[in-house]
Amino acid sequence: MDKGQKFSAGFFIVAIIIAWLFAEFVYKPYVEGKSEVPYSEFLQDLDANAIEAVDLGEDRITYTLKPASADAAKPSDRPIVDGVILNVKAFTNRKAKADMTKNVVRLLDPLLIERLASADVAFGGISKNGFSDLMMGILLPMLPLIIIWYIIFRNMRGSGAGGIFSFGRSRARELQGEMTGVHFKDLGGVGEAEIEIKEIIEFLKEPERFRKFGAKMPKGVLLVGPPGTGKTLLAKAAAGEAGVPFFFITGSSFVEMFVGVGAARVRDLFEQAKKKAPCIIFVDEIDAIGQSRSRSFNSNSEQENTLNQLLAEMDGFETNNGVVIMGATNRPEILDEALLRPGRFDRQIQVVLPTEEGRFEILKIHTANIPLDSTVDLKSIAKVTPGFSGADLANIANEAALLAVRRKSDKVSMKDLDLAIERVVAGLQRRTPLTPEIRKKVAYHETGHALVACFLPGTDPVHKVSIIPTAKGALGYTLQRSTEDQYLVGEVELRSKMAVMLGGRAAELLVFNEASTGASNDLERVTETARRMVTEFGMSKRLGPVRYAAPSMVYLHDGTQSREDLGTAIYADITAEIKDFVSSAQESALNILREHEAALHEVARVLQENEVITGDEIQAILKRIEGEGGSAELAEHEKLEELEVN
């Protein structure tokens, strides 16, 4: 029986119940309030002047007794106000029945109208019968309510598997392995994560080979990593490779406003999975139900009940043979410890940001169906995109294709990919005209960033400087591109990066003798960097190698929060050290710009004329102004960059 048949059966059952209640409590009292009497008794009431009004119907006559005379002339059980129904069909022969609907009154008593008129009784023409009165008087007003009830019932049916009567049913979608359409050949940059997943797949395919050595299949696999690194895609590939049933559900699907629904859905999910074993259950964003119970103020919350049921199903009194639970989250630090212990999520797989080789693989996958011209060098794109996730790289490939279509080209060029990277990093360019004064300030601001980056060691090389406003609210931007993946950053490099951040503000102070609001984002970033250096990295001589920061989100980069157990004196020292770090970075930027002020004015002039200047053009201007061999600082910086590349 499909869902439509189940719905029809349920609907008609409810409709029959409502019809019975209506007939029992509405229609039956309406009908029983009237009684049928012989026509001779009607004539007696008429002769006794006891009738107040008469209604002549098609197949019956209904009359009402006078209240004053009814008590005296009739027994106490006779109706007074309710109409008395007279069945006309009983007094008509077969011939009369044929023409009864035409003129029933004439066949029954031709003198009835005259007798009613002489008795001064109010009478009416042919009206609808009692059932029609019931339909018009009671059912018709209820019709809108019935329609509304039907719509609500239908919508609640669509709100989940089974509808209004199945809140406790699991909402997991079952897919067969081949239905996911994803295999490991469709993935790139996942590295060791793929190797660990393949081991789970081999166990599902050939369990006996592992059981010979007494090895047990991991009950749970937790995929953790930053957003966009392909955790969900990796789970789909695992299902596609294993060829077993795959149950997909999100953590938030277990939680409802009704108490106990989440736990019931967990039970139902595992019951379905046991019937299809071996199989895989994948819970995406498992942190929605797996948060640590120590964080909850209500010990009987719906989320906690759902988590307890999940813990019991994963490793409780009963065993789940052949059922592998896979979870994905980018917030592993908030998960309950009982969920992460061996026997539940036995294995945690780190799905990290791809390396240069991994980015190259991802770019090849996402550009497989995109026509590329001979200028495209995917290895070069992979080299200059450290820190980009798989989702970012897919977005770059798509944006480059859109740019090629926009300029009506047959193929995607290297320039399209460069512009796509800029669009992802800086935002869509807007050709908003700037006044000459604002244009000049923005040009000097961005030139300050670029020049400080050129003369300080340990900074990323400048790729492009633009004073074209972007959709992200920036009036200009300085784009630096790293040449390699960074895993560790030293104190000198951090101080250099802070000086680059404040290079724009330093240029404004040097040229215009005042700072503007354009440096607000720079101040925010440099202050956060200084705070982490002091409170998290232990780089303050005054405070020493002590961590004063509270734990932060591992993969969401929500910043470092101060601890609440620190004294006032410590807070004052932290604030003073942060101020010293930022002031030192600004002074370093000012010194560089004062020393190379001629280059500052020249690069800013070219930038105002062309709106965009590349890193190579800046290097050419510096060599021309500083001398053929360049300044000592520039030469040292280029030497360091060459060593880093090699």
Residue reference for tokens 């953590």 = 251
pLDDT of 641 higher than 50: no
Q: For residues 145 and 611, what is the distance between their CA atoms, to the nearest angstrom? A: 67
**Of the listed ranges 211-215, 223-227, 500-504, the one predicted with least confidence:** 211-215
Closest CA relative to residue 551, chosen from 336, 345, 387, 331: 331
Query: What confidence tens digit (pLDDT) does each residue in 251-272 have?
Result: 887 776 556 677 888 888 888 8
CATH code of the region 356-426: 1.10.8.60
How much is the pLDDT for 12? 63
**Of the listed ranges 79-88, 217-226, 566-575, the one predicted with least confidence:** 79-88
How much is the pLDDT for 173? 61
Pick the CATH number of 33-127 from 3.30.720.210, 3.40.50.300, 3.90.1150.10, 2.30.30.90: 3.30.720.210
pLDDT of 524 higher than 60: yes
Identify the architecture of domain 436-645 in CATH.
Up-down Bundle (1.20)
Which residue spans within 344-481 are E strands per DSSP?
A: 347-350, 462-466, 477-480
How much is the pLDDT for 194? 79
Residue type at position 407:
R
Alpha carbon separation from 522 to 296, 478, 506, 586 (Å, rounded): 38, 12, 11, 11
Active site residues: 446
How much is the pLDDT for 159? 47
Domain 173-350 has CATH 3.40.50.300: yes
**Of the listed ranges 399-408, 418-427, 569-578, 614-623, the one predicted with least confidence:** 418-427
**Domain extents in the chain:** 3-30+135-165, 33-127, 173-350, 356-426, 436-645
Q: Which of 291-305, 341-355, 505-519 has the highest mean pLDDT?
A: 505-519
Nearest 5°: the CA angle 106, 107, 112 is 45
Residue reference for tokens 């890193």 = 615
**Domain 436-645 in the same topology as domain 356-426:** no
pLDDT of 509 higher than 90: yes
Closest CA relative to residue 443, chosen from 269, 607, 324: 607
Average the pLDDT over 124-145 and give the result: 58
Say what the pTM is: 0.67
Query: What confidence tens digit (pLDDT) does each residue in 580-619 have?
Result: 999 999 999 999 999 999 999 999 999 999 888 988 899 9
Strand partners, 371: none
Mean pLDDT value across the chain: 76
Q: Choose between 335 and 173: higher pLDDT.
A: 335
Average the pLDDT over 509-515 and give the result: 92
φ/ψ (deg, to 5) at 551: -60, 140
pLDDT of 445 higher than 90: yes
Q: For residues 389 and 393, what is the distance between their CA atoms, to the nearest angstrom? A: 6
Q: For residues 171 and 309, what is the distance between their CA atoms, to the nearest angstrom? A: 16
Closest CA relative to residue 200, chosen from 240, 238, 162: 238
Q: State what percent of residues in the chain have pLDDT above 70.
A: 71
How much is the pLDDT for 75? 38
